[in-house]
Chains A and B, each alone.
Chain A
């Protein structure tokens, strides 16, 4: 089954804008232009969508959440998104899929890592993402008109998916794209402090570490490290784990299984954090 999450709307999600992404998203929402978020893993795409859903809808009550997130994978079928019949005592019952639910109730539907889904699955998005704003439900024999509040948001990480996996141009050209990157050192320090509760000096060192290691990302040696990963390491440090050890378990092992690369990453870690 599909991993479907509804956003925790009880409190305002923390998000630190890096560029003009908040204004862009608002403008796109006002025009109901579907949004494509591009960027490396762990740079805050999901958090951004949560934040925007909160800003746009404020606090919504169940059962109609403001944001419905679907994490895509290569086994996802259109039934997983649209819905399926289930067996029941008297016969069959129809259960809306997450996409259908969002279309009906007028939520933001966020398809995370959309290229992971099979290409035939993404095609069902086409009529939703142009002037029609409709979702054909083949099994019900109906076509659903999208709620006026509905917006489709998808994300993908162009570097991470191999060239073999890419969005079809016919899909890609339906979206407005907002590009994300890791925040700069100052912003990242602030984020790590806020999210992990670590001291500012340590957060700054973590951010600087992230900056150095991302040069290996540019070289294609590793991916990241993401801001999220740095936050995790910060969390370990707050819990009293020594910084080098926290980096070892949280960063070195997470970034690569290649011994040479691990050695190089440990070298950088031990240059930044004293024993």
Chain B
């Protein structure tokens, strides 16, 4: 029934496992995540989770003694992460009362406009150590709560904890502070003892007394805050160098400490901890737990290391607003500049693409504009000429544009498709169901048919009544089962102009990745195509770009009549933006391509990120005229498509799209999506309505 996977990513079947795990996470905490595998040997901070990305090792750490299988291990790891979300680790409220400790948190935790986790880090002198201790205590609390909430997982979780404990290094040679931390980590994993020097017994006993309280069902994230303040206070007094030679077993069960020790001095903690290293080189991360990154200090999206990130946060938080004229303004300014300073490194493979915004092209420069005149001729089987509508002359220019089709070179991987499924996979199921509802497969009975399989009782009775009342009865008295056709062919045309390579501003709701319009188009088409593949609608995927009327490039990802194979996803990944957006010829070509397809309903969906533009698209009438010229030609091409029996729709993510498209296009034929980031979701919805509309 369930798939046994010992690694996260090898083949498509593993991607299914990932998708199931992502859905599992969503069921537990209601949040979306993308699951990304990491390799052994990478530094832990490189795979710190962000709000939307969950990192898991490529292979589950199984050994011969493991009391769990790989699938259970991944489930324990995902549950742990989901419960961090569900049980409020990232929603700490520093002012909220909690029932387990006397309050040591200071009343004033700094600028209330800052996220609570950012202020929390301030209580630890912006030290990595404080954040790590808070995270470890939350791990302990979460694991205890998980055991209570999910009894079905308890056995596997125990096995995974034992496995993690088994891997812990012996703390005998550690510095006193490191030994105390190791003791805490072992305690959090359900360990019963630690090897340490006799003098360490007292601090470890105090730490244990505090940490144990977090196993209570009453514990909240605020309890972990109180506990972290106390434990950091103890750790701050322990030296970070030197080791004790002789060690003995210290059993946690035998230790006794006072969690409300009057010696705790939280007020001086920031000073004493400032600059304290976190779990540094000696530390072995617990693989099933997430590694604390900037998310634990209130920055959900950053993928920097905590050590690199903290000084900046400290700087910004300590010197708020250069005065007091408005903290909100400062906060607002901070966000983009922060994102701009550190472009995430894990982005896509196309980071280095040049900025090919239409505006940056030498449009109108003498060499490129009007040198090519007259009709064009196709020179090969992959070349096609089409007329162009000149709205100023109110006439067609015959054979004015040359479309050259080429099959896209496939990318090495099809991960893009499966990443899109992991991210938006839930939309596919919904889309499939909605499509099946709009046009269910199978047969439907036709009533009052002139011939058919069965008598239509109502019609028979009416006929009898008519007979007896002396009226001529109808002979349409049968019911007939007719096959419902879901006979649809749809072509997607993606705008591949240079502007689709521009990175979008970071999304506050889905931080963590830099995305380009092209990526969103790709994701959107991936999803819809996946759904179409499942319901059996025929589809083609094309992308258009060009530079000049004799060089309109139409890249074929999947032809309408091509069989649906995995190569399609490789090709989709291989799309690279280039040059300009001459929409007219692309629409004309695809409308003709579709009109030849055998289908009752034909749909052409053009996705674009901006206004149609090319280097010789109406420039002879002056730069101001180009928009009108290009939009009119596009609108005319859409009308031509409709005349060929194709339902054309132009979807643009240009928020101004309505302004110029509205002037020329039939409002049924275009659709403006205000925020490009909504594209995948919007396209799936749009497709359903387009599909219902067209058939």
Interface residues in chain A, defined as those with a beta carbon under 8 Å from any beta carbon in chain B: 75, 77, 79, 84-87, 91-92, 161-165, 205, 208, 212-213, 215-216, 218-222, 244, 248, 256, 258-275
Contact = CB atoms under 8 A, between A and B. Distances in A.
A218 B16 CA distance: 21
Interface string B420-449: 000001110110001001100000010000
A163 B690 CA distance: 11
A18 B427 CA distance: 31
Given A256-B429, A259-B16, A264-B21, A219 B26 contact: yes
Contacts of A92: 461, 464-465, 468
A164 B152 contact: no
B152 to A, nearest CB: 5
B461 A86 contact: yes
B108 to A, nearest CB: 37
Nearest to B445: A75
Contacts of B113: none
B438 A164 contact: yes
A268 B445 contact: no
A267 B437 contact: no
A268 B24 contact: yes
What does DSSP make chain B's interface, helix, strand, loop or mixed?
Answer: helix
24 contacts: A87-B461, A87-B464, A92-B461, A92-B465, A162-B437, A162-B688, A162-B692, A208-B149, A215-B28, A216-B23, A216-B426, A219-B26, A220-B427, A258-B429, A260-B20, A260-B23, A264-B22, A267-B2, A267-B24, A271-B28, A271-B75, A271-B79, A272-B150, A273-B152
B20 A267 contact: yes
B598 to A, nearest CB: 25
9 interchain residue pairs of minimum CB distance: A264-B23, A263-B20, A220-B430, A271-B150, A267-B24, A215-B30, A271-B153, A221-B426, A260-B19
A267 B151 contact: no
Contact of B461 (A85, A213, A265, A272): A85
Nearest to B150: A271
Interface string B127-170: 00000000000000000000001111111000000000000000
Nearest to B684: A220
A75 B446 CA distance: 10
Contacts of B3: 263
B1 interface: yes
A220 B430 CA distance: 6
A244 B19 contact: no
B152 A269 contact: yes
A266 B23 contact: no
Contacts of B464: 87, 92
A274 B154 contact: yes
Interface string B52-81: 000000000000000000000001000100
Given A221-B426, A263-B3, A263-B17, A244 B152 contact: yes
Nearest to B31: A215
Nearest to A248: B1
A255 to B, nearest CB: 11
Nearest to A263: B20
Number of contact residues on B: which range applies?
35 or more
Given A92-B468, A213-B27, 20 more contacts: A75-B445, A85-B465, A162-B438, A164-B692, A165-B437, A215-B29, A216-B23, A216-B27, A219-B30, A220-B430, A244-B152, A259-B16, A260-B20, A260-B23, A263-B16, A264-B24, A264-B27, A271-B28, A271-B79, A272-B151
Contacts of A265: 27
Contact of B28 (A77, A165, A259, A268): A268
A92 B468 CA distance: 10
Given A216-B426, A221-B430, A266 B1 contact: yes
Nearest to B689: A163
Given A261-B429, A272-B152, A79 B24 contact: no
Contacts of B22: 264
Contacts of B26: 215-216, 219, 221, 264
Nearest to B693: A164
A261 B26 CA distance: 11
B461 A267 contact: no
Interface string B17-48: 10111111011111010000000000000000
Nearest to A217: B27
Interface string B567-588: 0000000000000000000000
B688 A163 contact: yes
A156 B28 CA distance: 28
Given A85-B461, A162-B434, A259-B16, A215 B151 contact: no
Contacts of B154: 274
B429 A270 contact: no
B656 interface: no
B202 interface: no
B434 A221 contact: no
A163 B465 CA distance: 40
Given A87-B464, A260-B16, A219 B151 contact: no
A268 B445 CA distance: 41
- Which of A212, A222, A269 has the most chain B CB within a 10 Å cutoff? A212
A92 B430 CA distance: 48
B458 interface: yes
A262 B19 CA distance: 11
Contacts of A262: 1
Contacts of B23: 216, 221, 260-261, 263-264
A268 B27 contact: yes
Contact of A263 (B2, B150, B438, B685): B2
Contacts of A244: 152
Contact of B151 (A77, A87, A274): A274
B205 to A, nearest CB: 34
B75 A267 contact: yes
A84 B458 contact: yes
Contacts of B426: 216, 219-221
> Which among B20, B30, B151 has the highest number of chain A CB atoms within 10 Å?
B20
Interface centre among B17, B21, B23 (most CB of A within 10 A): B23
A208 B27 CA distance: 11
A101 to B, nearest CB: 19
Contacts of B24: 263-264, 267-268
A27 to B, nearest CB: 35
Contacts of B689: 163-164
A213 B23 CA distance: 10
Contacts of A263: 1-3, 16-17, 20, 23-24
Contacts of B692: 162-164
A215 B27 CA distance: 5
A268 B78 CA distance: 11
Nearest to B19: A260
B145 to A, nearest CB: 13
Contacts of A84: 458, 461
Contacts of B685: 163
Nearest to A165: B437
A270 B3 CA distance: 14
Nearest to B425: A260
B436 to A, nearest CB: 9
Contacts of B32: 219
